[in-house]
């Protein structure tokens, strides 16, 4: 009579790693709030992104639908 083998894998214990906070600071003297305010005032997202150094995707949040 054949034996039945029970397959088992070792328990994997995942410990929480460090939390990494990344902040975008293009170093041009603008804050993200100021850059988004420019977009709300009517400046184009591409123009504000070029002037302030913030990525256009971050500035699109300011656009109201």
Pick the more confident residue, 63 or 60.
Answer: 60
**Per-residue model confidence as pLDDT tens digits over 14-44:** 677 788 877 777 778 888 889 989 998 999 9
By the 10 Å C-beta count (0-12 exposed, 13-18 middle, 19+ buried), 52 is classed as buried
Rounded to an integer, the average pLDDT of 31-59 is 90
Q: What is the pLDDT of residue 1?
A: 59
Q: What is the pTM of this model?
A: 0.56
């Amino acid at each position: 009579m054949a034996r039945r083998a029970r397959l088992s894998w070792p328990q994997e214990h995942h410990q929480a790693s460090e939390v990494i906070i990344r902040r975008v600071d293009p170093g041009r003297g603008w804050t993200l709030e100021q850059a988004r305010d420019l977009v709300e005032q009517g400046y184009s997202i591409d123009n504000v992104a070029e002037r302030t150094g913030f990525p256009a995707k971050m500035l699109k949040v300011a656009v109201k639908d």
